[in-house]
Each structure stands twice: as structure tokens, then as C-alpha cells.
Amino acid sequence: MNRKLHRPEPILHHTAKSVDRSAPPQAAAARLRDGEMLIVADLYTTGEAILARLDLLLRPPPHDAPFEARQAHRRMHREAILRLLAPIEEHRLALADARPIGFLKELYPERSSFVLPFAQVQELFGAWNRYREGVHLKVLGHSLYPFYGTYVPTRVSHLELFGTWLHQYKGPRHRAIDVGTGCGVLALMLCRAGFARVLATDINPNAVESVSRELDRLVPPPPIDLFCGDLLGDDPEPAELIVFNPPWIRGQAQGLLDEALVFTDGLFERFFDQACARLTATGRLVLVFSNILELVQPDVPHPILAELERGRLRLVQKLARRVEPVKTPDGGHRRTRERVEIWELARA
């Protein structure tokens, strides 16, 4: 492993007060809400109970509240949960009922004892389980084993729609580029569809590490080259297919995985400039997108329509499909007006 990977920042000095199961979790949750730092001293389940109580104290606004109100709540919630800490000793969570998290040794080779926010320990633990057990992706017909800090799709309708588009693609299959590859699912779909070489890029080094480990695991290794950096990178070689499943809403990234979900101004302009410079004369540019931007941020200019208005590219076709209803906390399902979309563009 030679890439500098993202990891939760280790805390080496703190003044947090100890909490254990002898205190009611709701009292500890209220202290966190009010700005105090606490550290769990006995059990993993103590930390879980406190954060569950904090969730009840900091209820989110209704799902149809303005986007800005929901974002502000997310920020405030994140700040409060990060005030609960957990001790790590000898690369293990020093709580009696804690199970091992192999990433601790990998991500912190230089020190074995430190403190992390409890919520980030939970994220490391969830990621470790996904990495060990794998996440089955029907569109690939096998599991992927995503590394910590890598975006993994939780819904599949956009991947299935991309599969439908790819199935009817009749163009050449020498070289494709998968921009923002995440756990590598689209790049692997392109290999399965017969592309001789696929360049998979991501700005997140953990995603590139994840796909690199996937390539080591798969036999024979798929013909994927990796690049860690902004968008298409600086390799000038043209490609006849450029695919991008970008972040779908505008915002400021707050955590590592937010880069996968929210875009800042300029991302699409840079992407289209680079893609236009690299696309072959008859090549195709495919964006996996959604109408969520129009639903939750109607004032934000649509980045693909804005590019089409510039006249460099034309729309060849657009596919759309409803997404599966959203699961609600009470176990029901909420219908959504959200649709996933495939935008196929070519040179005008």
C-alpha cells in the first residue's frame, strides 16, 4: 500500500470525561448535544446506546423540509456525534465487547494507541465487515470487497439502467474511461462488455486502492488501468466511451464520502472540457444522473443542459427509470418522484 489513504484523524490528547453504562444514556446524549466531549470507558454497547439516544434528541426535519434545513441539521448532528470518543489500544478497540477491526492496523501503522470518535469507529467497523464479507452486485454477477472510505452503491436502479444502455451500445470497444470509479462497478461492467482497456479514475485514493485490491483478487485480472486524481487525469490518449456517474446534488463535502454525493461549482465544466478534448470523433459520453437535482435544488442550473446549450455536444438519447421506493424507519416504503437517468452525448 503506497498511496496516502484517507483515515479518521487519530486524537492524541483530549480532555473528554469518561462515561459508562452506570449513567443513563439519555443524560450522556444531552451532554454531547450541549457541547461536552465524552469518552466511552466500558462497552461498545454503551457507545451505541448513547448515540441512539442522541439520534432521538436531534430528530431530523421532515423529508419534505427545504434542502438547506436538512443540510444544516446533518451538519449539527455530525458535530454532536463526533463529541463521543472511543479508546484504541494495541490497534484494538479497548472496550470489553468490541470485535476486531482489521483496518486499524492497516491505516495506523505508525501508532497503536490513540482515540477516535466513536461514530468513526462504527464506520470503520461497518466498512471492515463489508470488506471481509463483500457486497453482492447483481449487475456484475459477483461481489465486490470495498476498501474503507470507498463509495458503494446502496441502490441499483441506475446501475441496471446503465447495463440496459451498455447492452445496446454498438460502437467500438478499444478504450473507455470510467471517471469517478468508486468501488469500480462501472469499469468492471465495461470490461464484461468487452472493452479492451478501461481507465478508471477517482480523486479519492481509498477508491483507487479498493479497485486495485479488486484487480488483485479477480482471475484473470480485468484490463483496468488506475489513476488517482481529478477527473480524467492528464493522459492524452483518446477514448471512444467516457462514462461518469457524478455526484448528483450541489453542496459542500463534510466527510470523506460526501465527495461522491455532492458537487461544487466548476466540476462539470472541468469534466466537459477534459472529456471534449479526449473523446474520439464518433465517441460517446455517458452520464449516469438523476432528476434529484431538479427536485431538491430547483434553482441550481442543470449541469448537463448547461453544457448542451454551449453547442459542443448533442444529446443522442436519454433513458430514465423510476427508482425503487425509499425504506422508512418504521419498515414501510415511501414513494418517490426520483428517477435515474442515462444521458448519452456525442460531438455536435
Binding site for ligand SAM (CB under 6 A): 151, 153, 179-182, 185-186, 201-204, 207, 230-231, 245, 247, 259-260, 267
Q: What are phi and psi of 85, to 5 degrees?
A: -110, 165
DSSP element (H, E) containing 181: none
Residue at shortest CB range from ligand SAM: 180
Closer to ligand SAM at the Cβ: 37 or 300? 300
**Based on CB atoms, which residue is closest to ligand SAM, 120 or 201?**
201
Nearest to 222 by CA among 242, 180, 263, 193: 193
Give me the least distance between CB of 181 and ligand SAM, in Å please: 5
For 230, the grid coordinates are: 481529478
**222 prior amide bond cis, ω within 30:** no
CB 152, min distance to ligand SAM, A: 7
DSSP 8-state class, residue 315: E
Closer to ligand SAM by CB, 98 or 186: give it.
186
Residues 6+ apart with CB under 8 A from 341: 161, 287, 288, 289, 290, 291, 318, 319, 320, 321
Q: 259 vs 344, which CB is nearer to ligand SAM?
A: 259
* Minimum CB distance to ligand SAM smaller for 118 or for 169: 169
Write the burial class of residue 303 (CB in 10 Å: 0-12 exposed, 13-18 middle, 19+ buried): buried
Measured from the CB of residue 202, what is the shortest distance to ligand SAM in angstroms? 5
Question: Cβ closer to ligand SAM: 114 or 263?
Answer: 263
The nearest distance, CB 234 to ligand SAM, in angstroms, is 12
Q: Smallest distance from the beta carbon of 301 to ligand SAM, in angstroms?
A: 18
φ, ψ of residue 135 to 5 degrees: the values are -125, 115
